[in-house]
Amino acid sequence: MEKKLLHFCLNGEEMEVQVDPSASLMDVIRDDLEMTGTKAGCNTGDCGACTVILDGEAVRSCIMPALHVMDRNVETIEGIGSPDNLHPVQEEFVESSAFQCGYCTPGMIMSAKALLDKNPEPTGEDVREAIAGNLCRCTGYKKIEEAFLSAAKKVNSKSS
Amino acid sequence: MKEFTVVGKSIPRRDALDKVLGTATYTTDVKLPGMLYAKVLRSPHAHAKVIKIDTSKAKALPGVKAVLCHLDIPKNLFCSSAAAYVTTPPVKGVVDQYIFESTARFIGDEIAAVAATSLAIAEKALALIEVEYEVLPAVFDPFEAMKPESPTLHTEPEKKEGFPEYPENNIVGNKIPPVIGMGDLEVGFKEADYIFENTYIVDAVKQAQLETHGAVADINSEGKLTIYSPSQSLHPTKRIVAEALGLPLSQVRVLNPPYSGGGFGGRIGCSAKSEVITAALAQKARRPVKLILSRQEDFIASDTRHETFATLKTGVKKDGTLTARFIKVIMNGGAYASWSQDAPGVLASTAMPVYRCPNSMFEGWTVYTNRTSAGAMRGFGNPQGMFCVESQMDEIAHALNMDPLEFRLKNISRPGDAVPVPFPLVTTGLRDCITQGAEKIGWSRRVEPDRQKSTKLRGMGMGVGSHVSCSHPFHVDYSTCQLILQQDGSILYSTGVPDIGTGTSTTLPQFVAEVLGVDISMVKIVFGDTQSTPFEVGSHASRTCYAAGKAAIAGAEKIKKEILEYAADYLKLPEDDLDIAKGMVYSLSNDNVKVSLGEIALQAHLKTKQFSCIGTVPPTNALPWEAHFAEVEVDTETGQVEIIQLVAAHDVGKAINPAIVEGQIEGALSMGIGFALTEQYQIDENGRQLYDTYHKYMMPTVMDMPPMETIIVEEHEPSGPFGVRGVGEAGLVPTAPAITNAIFNATGVRVNQIPVTPDRLLTALKNQKGISTVREDEEIYAE
């Protein structure tokens, strides 16, 4: 199949890449752009490991056709924080060991960030709903929820 | 008593930054120059002979670099899990797999594999492989499979060599014949005032870890293989690949890249044969080959937990004292042996020490059937065993009109009790686990609800259990590490243990840092790679903290002694006047005398010496203890069970990193909830798996999680490093019976099969008596 030119904004940077029209956004990110922070867990949109943020909404990149992000804004885990400047969610994860194998972690963080960007004062219920589509087999979710709520408090105290 | 500097502290994990920033590399992320992509052709039939297979069209497709089937591979028998390679003589490990065979034994069985320049081409090539199958009768039920008229799955004489011929068909390896655990059963049952006999079924479930199975095999011009793998047992995986391909061990290197997306027993050895298949394809193509299983392949073609059928016959006195117990177990092994010879024995060994029952016996075995192989999954028979034991204990307590908690306290094993395992019960914190857990959940509130008043009924239940702290002496299990002092004062600490998420790469350095007296940042761990580490069986049997921790302490003590000996001479002070703290060798009597380890290392280096040592100790084992409490609300109209709260109290001996220990327990609780209520492996009449995607397989999401409390009890275990006992699997042992016993307390009705799905519960409620099992053939359970 003939490739098509996809241009979109990725982590604040203008990107142009030739893609297979049938490729998913996850395939383009992981294979064409070799950014493997976004994880592949099921390829059917069920586990959330592939979660990225598209125009402010958390989406499953494995079932999002790549061409659907033409001229739109995509954020992946690579665009969140850096070793010297972690996002509050990342800080909380590190401090409270809210991860184990880490495979669901990028997806969890993207879901949390999407929530916090829209709703800086989420309730426990808001947090649970935001990550309801992110499967984790290692942690039992408890430390993840607690890390997100602590991060929200941090974000609030930073901005206030 | 000296206070710990780093042990007992929830220090941040060293893999934290990589994992939160997305820079952690897993096998699924590995990309090598010239790498090919593999796909596996899988049998659509549960049992079939491959009459003819023609791979020529596939081979001819442009982009295809290798195609392999049973005609192309070395005929070396192997076992795709570590089981056969850790079995201790005189028991023989079961080896019943070839890379590809001309017989398919389950839907999903590997028939052929392709390596091509893209995944799309590999998929196209699969479709071009022409296979003619002769469909054979299949058997899915172990009781059917034992009948002489049922199809025999493995007829090859080489697979049977060294194993007894049994009158029953399809037995995996050795049966465990009626083995007296302790005492005299006949005497015990005579002493009983009441005898309870119950049957139970535990459905198979799946690890369902987030990173699917797979591997990337690279090969150099000398034929040396480098295999990136999510394996939880790197050294055994290396052995399996070497055996399967007929290579010397030194020609194979297996490593995690360095992270693995979860294991839970599913990859103690190969990741569903991926390492072997990619290695064989890489040999053929002379290029690196990557095989990543789809989620559906992971479900259908990698080891499940064992479906378990059990009868428990227990004798008890009027006052609640246990007098006798006979446990008989038959497990459904699926198509290939994997850990099937071992699982029944582990069930027995982990269940029987829990209670002081002076007369006990166990009998059990596993049966081949034409479904997905069963292997190791967190708990390895213990969650199944304790579901049965704890359900029956609850039933007995109810019949005797005793508080189930008091009944447990009366009968749990005490220090010094004889136990039917080959290591002593020296200490137990189970009593504390029970009393503290009971207080936390509010056990004194427990009453039978008024069942006429409402369709939403609340109840409370409990379960207890044990496990092991490694697999010695049941299997080959020993630990060795290597320590080298580097010229900057850091310690290179090399261990064959992986980090599959359990935090071993953080916790094990804590042992070294504590003993040696250095900051944790000065312990540089090398792990998860067979090339640079001594043999380690890996991360299984809840062993890494206990067994590798002991080796770490031994090594750190040794190198510390060597350093102090040298420092004594260097500083011209007696050795017993010196110690190490914060990376400095200092004099106990003179505050001014301090020299850094880096300085010592450099001085020694200039005089042609480097400090290095091996740390190892003879293996031991120890029993961990746990008690779980559940409060549930049952909707008697829908059969849905909501968990109101869960409390898990664990005697871990010593929590080296409490946050990591809590995380392990909390994760196990979520698995326990699924095990009790929603997860199941089921097949249709043709053997096709029904719940073979994340969409259909009901594992808990965050929305299913109740409030949970973890209580860590630290009853020092003398054989453990700083008193440690295993914990990784213990968190999954009594969860299901705690929940199902709570359902009984709420509804008055007991379901002796898990998961207690809404339809099973509604059937039981409708009958207004428990359903024993869904089976009718009682004669199978006769002694």
When pLDDT is averaged across residues B677-684 and rounded to a whole number, the result is 97
The reported pLDDT for the residue numbered B473 is: 94
Interface size A-B, in CB pairs within 8 Å, comes to 175
Distance separating alpha carbons of residues B499 and A102, to the nearest angstrom: 11
The answer on B714 and B660 residing in a single domain is yes
Distance separating alpha carbons of residues B370 and B679, to the nearest angstrom: 21
Is A76's CB within 8 Å of B669's CB?
no
Smallest CA-to-CA distance from B27 within B271, B278, B254, B256 is with: B256
Closest approach of B259 to chain A, Cα-based (Å)? 7
Q: Which residues in chain B are contacts of A122 at CB distance < 8 A? A: none
Radius of gyration of the CA atoms of chain A, in A: 16
Is B210's CB within 8 Å of A135's CB?
yes
Is B210's CB within 8 Å of A86's CB?
no
Write out the catalytic residue numbers of B: 729
The reported pLDDT for the residue numbered A159 is: 61
Is A138's CB within 8 Å of B16's CB?
no
Distance separating alpha carbons of residues A99 and B16, to the nearest angstrom: 8
Give residues with Cβ within 8 angstroms of B657, minimum separation 6: A97, B9, B10, B11, B503, B506, B507, B510
Beta carbons of A74 and A24 less than 8 angstroms apart: no
The predicted complex's ipTM stands at 0.98
3.40.50.2300, 3.10.300.10, 3.10.20.30, 1.10.3720.10: CATH of A4-79: 3.10.20.30
Distance separating alpha carbons of residues B391 and B258, to the nearest angstrom: 41
Distance separating alpha carbons of residues B229 and B275, to the nearest angstrom: 7
pLDDT greater than 80 at residue B768: no
The angle subtended at Cα B145 by Cα B142 and Cα B148, nearest 5°, is 145
Position B531 confidence tier, pLDDT thresholds 50, 70, 90: very high
When pLDDT is averaged across residues B433-439 and rounded to a whole number, the result is 98
Smallest CA-to-CA distance from A35 within A110, A97, A92 is with: A110
Range of the domain at B255: 31-136+207-301
Q: Decide if A130 touches B, using CB distance below 8 A.
A: no
The answer on B514 and B458 residing in a single domain is no
The answer on B605 and B507 residing in a single domain is yes
The answer on B459 and B360 residing in a single domain is yes
How many Cβ atoms sit within 10 Å of the Cβ of residue B406? 12
DSSP-derived 3-state class of residue B119: helix
Smallest CA-to-CA distance from B603 within B633, B567, B562 is with: B567
Position B181 confidence tier, pLDDT thresholds 50, 70, 90: confident
The answer on B329 and B286 residing in a single domain is no
Query: Percent of chain B having pLDDT more than 70?
Result: 98
The reported pLDDT for the residue numbered A160 is: 53
Question: Which residues in B60-129 belong to E strands, given as ranges?
Answer: 64-69, 103-104, 110-116
Radius of gyration of the CA atoms of chain B, in A: 27
Give residues with Cβ within 8 angstroms of B186, minimum separation 6: none
Two tokens, residue B582: 């914060």
Query: Percent of chain B having pLDDT more than 90?
Result: 95
* CA A121 centroid distance within chain: 19
pLDDT greater than 60 at residue B212: yes
For chain A, the distance separating the N- and C-terminal CA atoms, rounded to the nearest angstrom, is 52
Q: Is residue B152 part of a domain?
A: no
Distance separating alpha carbons of residues B498 and B540, to the nearest angstrom: 10
Distance separating alpha carbons of residues B577 and B170, to the nearest angstrom: 67
- Write the CATH number for B511: 3.30.365.10
Q: What is the DSSP letter of B202?
A: E
Q: Which residue has the tokens 């965050």?
A: B702
When pLDDT is averaged across residues B716-740 and rounded to a whole number, the result is 97
The reported pLDDT for the residue numbered A155 is: 82
When pLDDT is averaged across residues B461-485 and rounded to a whole number, the result is 97
Looking at the partner chain, which of A49, A140, A145 has a beta carbon nearest the beta carbon of B670? Answer: A140
Is A135's CB within 8 Å of B694's CB?
yes
Looking at the partner chain, which of B28, B208, B264 has a beta carbon nearest the beta carbon of A40? Answer: B28
Backbone dihedral region of B354: left (phi > 0), alpha (psi from -120 to 50 degrees) or beta?
Answer: alpha
pLDDT greater than 70 at residue B511: yes
For chain B, the distance separating the N- and C-terminal CA atoms, rounded to the nearest angstrom, is 55
Position B782 confidence tier, pLDDT thresholds 50, 70, 90: very low
Domain boundary among B301, B335, B356: B301
The answer on B464 and B401 residing in a single domain is yes
The burial of B374, by beta-carbon neighbours within 10 Å (0-12 exposed, 13-18 middle, 19 or more buried), is given as buried
Q: Is the peptide bond before B90 cis (omega within 30 degrees of 0)?
A: yes
Q: Is residue B426 part of a domain?
A: yes
Looking at the partner chain, which of B10, B29, B502 has a beta carbon nearest the beta carbon of A36? Answer: B29
Write out the residue limits of the CATH 1.10.150.120 domain(s) in chain A.
88-159
pLDDT single digits (tens) B342-391: 999 999 999 999 999 999 999 999 999 999 999 999 999 999 999 999 99
Q: Which residues in chain A are contacts of B22 at CB distance < 8 A? A: 36-38, 76-78, 80, 106
pLDDT greater than 50 at residue B440: yes
Position B773 confidence tier, pLDDT thresholds 50, 70, 90: very low
Distance separating alpha carbons of residues B19 and B665, to the nearest angstrom: 21
The reported pLDDT for the residue numbered B769 is: 58
Distance separating alpha carbons of residues B781 and B773, to the nearest angstrom: 12
Two tokens, residue B344: 């029944």
Instruction: Flag the least confident range among B177-181, B402-406, B744-748.
Output: B177-181
pLDDT greater than 90 at residue B2: no
The answer on B231 and B89 residing in a single domain is yes
Q: At what angle do helices B234-245 and B274-285 cross, to 10 degrees?
A: 50
* CA B458 centroid distance within chain: 33
Domain boundary among B582, B616, B650: B616
The answer on B289 and B323 residing in a single domain is no
B618-642 core/surface letters (b: 16 or more CB in 10 A; e: else):
ebbbbbbbbbbbbbbbbbbeebebe
pLDDT greater than 50 at residue B771: no
Looking at the partner chain, which of B294, B501, B694 has a beta carbon nearest the beta carbon of A102? Answer: B501
Q: Which residues pair with B494 in a beta bridge?
A: B482, B526
Q: Which residues in chain B are contacts of A102 at CB distance < 8 A? A: 15, 18-19, 24, 259, 261, 501
Smallest CA-to-CA distance from B543 within B186, B232, B180, B177 is with: B232
pLDDT single digits (tens) B60-93: 999 999 999 999 999 999 999 999 999 998 899 9
Beta B322-334 vs B578-581: how paired, if at all? unpaired
Position B774 confidence tier, pLDDT thresholds 50, 70, 90: very low
The angle subtended at Cα B320 by Cα B380 and Cα B418, nearest 5°, is 50
Two tokens, residue A83: 């070793």
In Å, the largest CA–CA distance within chain B is 86
Domain boundary among B587, B616, B645: B616
Q: Is residue B720 part of a domain?
A: yes
Count structural domains, chain B: 3
pLDDT single digits (tens) A27-42: 999 999 999 999 999 9
Two tokens, residue B621: 């084992």
The answer on B529 and B504 residing in a single domain is yes
Position B248 confidence tier, pLDDT thresholds 50, 70, 90: very high
The type of residue at B314 is T
Q: Which residues in chain A are contacts of B660 at CB distance < 8 A? A: 97
Strand order in the sheet with B625-635: B456-465, B625-635, B641-651, B708-713
A88-159 maps to CATH 1.10.150.120:
yes
The answer on B342 and B225 residing in a single domain is no
* CA B169 centroid distance within chain: 28
The answer on B296 and B369 residing in a single domain is no
Position B40 confidence tier, pLDDT thresholds 50, 70, 90: very high
Q: How far are the Cα atoms of A114, B98, B270 from residue B109, in angstroms, in the given order?
A: 42, 11, 15
The answer on B482 and B405 residing in a single domain is no
Distance separating alpha carbons of residues B99 and B367, to the nearest angstrom: 22
Q: Which residues in chain B are contacts of A113 at CB distance < 8 A? A: none
Residue ranges, chain A, pLDDT below 70: 158-160
Beta carbons of A66 and A17 less than 8 angstroms apart: no
Smallest CA-to-CA distance from A147 within A93, A77, A73, A101 is with: A93
